[in-house]
Amino acid sequence: MKKYKVAVIGAGLMGGGIAQTCAQAGYEVVNIDLFEPALEKAKNNVEKLYDKKIAKGKMTEEEKAEIMGRLSYSNNFEAVKGAEVVIEAVPEKIEIKKDIFAKVDAVADQHTIIVSNTSGLSISEMAAATKRPEKVMGVHFFYPAPVMKLVELIRGIATSAETYEKVKALAVDIEKQAVDCPELPGFIVNRILVPMMNEAAFLVMEGCKPEDVDTAMKLGSNQPMGPLELCDFVGIDVMLATMTGLYNGFHDSKYRPCPILENMVKAGRLGRKSGEGFYKYN
């Protein structure tokens, strides 16, 4: 497949990982973020990862240099010029994403496709912030992006067949397994997985110990990680926001967020990233 320039907006864990994934597959990639320290951290994370691979004999210095030569960083939206595809990977808030889409639309080439790495927000609503709704769709990567094989493809109401085919081809070329999803809250994975995690939180609220819930699910359903361990891994705040999105999107009581999640977020117990969630971490 012909390689071209890809721009990734957002240099957090997801954005940095998506940029790394595309560069490894041979694409010229620019990772864009207005927060300069985020760019420095993203670059350092990739270099540290590759240095570890070199130390283990899994990568050569030449291979690292080749990939890093395709990967650049910028704090200017003008850097999207020349990109065939722009991948937005900013926080999961619709107003932030719509603002990013409008800014990218104003400076990107006319033929450029803009996709969102959203875990459940409306593609059609983001597309409406642009003058190219037919060139907008969703590609939901999973963390960590360089490792996880799945991507969910979501078409908005105006997404063209040409846009879909080009984005799907990109997903396959960066060695991802793509599945088609309806433009409904949660798509496929989160619509099934997040309510399970929410139900696990209800069990804790009703008196179960987190370790008992996780042990039961790991041994009883052969899951590699218990639902509450997973909550802590992805972040209690992210979990609550996703569950709230399902509840607001479907208006169905089965998606009601567990109150304990709201209390934990208010208390700053966000999981691994804060040092405490359902479990404590060093």
Q: Which residues are catalytic?
A: 119, 140, 152, 190
Specify the length of the chain in residues.
Answer: 282
Q: 133 by DSSP, 3-state: which? A: helix
DSSP result, 29-53: EEEE-S-HHHHHHHHHHHHHHHHHH
**Any idea what DSSP says for residue 258?**
P
Q: What angle do CA 161, 166, 170 make, to 5 degrees?
A: 145
8 A C-beta contact, residue 71 and residue 20: yes
CA atoms of 191 and 168, how far apart (whole Å)? 22
Q: What sign has the CA pseudo-torsion 108, 110, 112, 117?
A: positive
**Residue 20, token pair as written in the block:** 């790394």
Contacts of 52 (CB under 8 A, 6+ apart): none
CA atoms of 111 and 208, how far apart (whole Å)? 54
**Any idea what DSSP says for residue 118?**
-
Which candidate, 99, 80, 118, 121, places its Cα nearest to that of 244? 121
8 A C-beta contact, residue 199 and residue 216: no
